[in-house]
Structure 1
């Protein structure tokens, strides 16, 4: 997918581009990883990205969030070039392998609250609203009872729940997830996918997610990819409800999800533990 095969979404011209890539390429040690990639992600798109190992999935995400610079081409976030972009609190990002040192003396609550800091605010005085957001995020991931534990005391699956909560705490406009459910038990994976589907359908959030769960990607985003670039495959779903949720916070998403699941007589609930 290069300049001649640009991925766009033509049915939502009234909505802004959240991510825009123009002729983006990336090479490592003279080996091409991504070549001449152009696409636009509109507000409220859900992009599922799949591909074999080495296809460039994580590289693409890291370029979008400004952690890698493309060899050539331009990346924009909300219309601003990524190297000039300042509103990082609008983006939630969960990397495939979190770089937090497990020996760092931080509690689960402190790690989740750090999602409110943003890149330009290393220190921030917390208020009641911040702590309420933290409580909602902890509850969403079912880790209320872990909030006083040190992050290094948790299992890999528990740590991943913490990083998911950290990404969700700011109620981001764009949520970027790189294999978000690796190391998480099957029940929690199912609950998480139900939650993000509800958030996509009813809230003003755009999703870009790498996942190894092909069944989940295809069941929600379609069996066939909408576009491709080399070994990268892009599955796309666009959601514009005629009536959005009046409230757009994480707790409301949980409430709506639970009501939805109860109406279908399902027993898996976000935040429930075995």
Structure 2
């Protein structure tokens, strides 16, 4: 098949598959038989009440917790055999971040390159260039030497997003990325996410407390429900915009 024919084909690759996933903290069952599949270029909004297991589910998908029952597949590979963690970018809740952590913005962004098998390796010039590109992309280059704890909430979120994007991931997982920031910052941040979804080969899985903003893009009717969770999904078919595969390069060029 020619390259242009491949680019024109709809994308249906399985990115995240949840098959009857359950998890409990002691006697408190937070997830019970959750089943859902996110496919390539889906933007998935994960909606549920407090205690519905949204963050727990995200932590399982990124390998921080193991399902007690059921199976998770990432890019078609069972979670317990998955090794390509560079394909996944993760932006956790800001509440999990210690504002006194003694690291600069540059160091936090570079830490996104410290994969599970690269923790002790030296930073190369290519790594430094990649971090510089990520900071330029998110318009935080002028903050590079500042301590992360000295930044505003909106600035911190841009740093964490730059950290998540530095490996050019195919899946971006965001856990309430706009929590604790002002409405203008929330709007600008979500506009950036929408742009990334519409113009790049990237799949999103996001938990957000701002239902109005998320549902205005994804639709008010969930595509699927499972247990206490609702999955709102919007799929992008703008494959003609995906000729450039380096996400950071094209985001900076278009910005």
Fold match, TM over 0.5?
A: yes
Aligned: 1:115 with 2:104: no
> May I ask how many residue pairs the two structures share in their alignment?
246
Higher relative contact order (CA 8 A, sep 6+): 2
**Equivalent residue for 1:266?**
none
Residues 167 and 178 of structure 1: is their aligned pair in 2 closer, same or farther, counting only changes over 3 Å?
Answer: same
Q: CA deviation at 1:65?
A: 1.0
Q: After superposing the two structures, state which structure 1 stretch, 244-253 or 26-35, moved more.
A: 244-253
| Structure 2 unaligned spans of 5+ | 1-8
Q: How does 1:184-263 map to 2 (within 5 A)?
A: 184-247=181-244, 248-256=246-254, 258=255
**What is the distance in 2 between the residues matched to 1:30 and 1:46?**
33
**What is the distance in 2 between the residues matched to 1:13 and 1:142?**
33
Equivalent residues of 1:112, 1:166 under 8 A apart: yes
Q: Which SS does the other structure have where 2:70 is aligned?
A: strand
**What is the distance in 1 between the residues matched to 2:242 and 2:62?**
28
Cα shift readout 1:202-248 (whole Å, capped 9, x = no counterpart): 21111000011112211111121111123211100111224133223
More helix by share: 2
Q: Which SS does the other structure have where 1:244 is aligned?
A: helix
Equivalent residues of 2:35, 2:226 under 8 A apart: no
Aligned: 1:152 with 2:152: no
Cα shift readout 1:151-203 (whole Å, capped 9, x = no counterpart): 23334443333222211211210000000112233333222212221211121
Q: How does 1:91-170 map to 2 (within 5 A)?
A: 91-97=88-94, 99-170=96-167
Residues 17 and 113 of structure 1: is their aligned pair in 2 closer, same or farther, counting only changes over 3 Å?
Answer: same
**What is the distance in 2 between the residues matched to 1:221 and 1:14?**
18
**Equivalent residue for 1:181?**
178
TM-score by length of 2: 0.88
TM-score by length of 1: 0.82
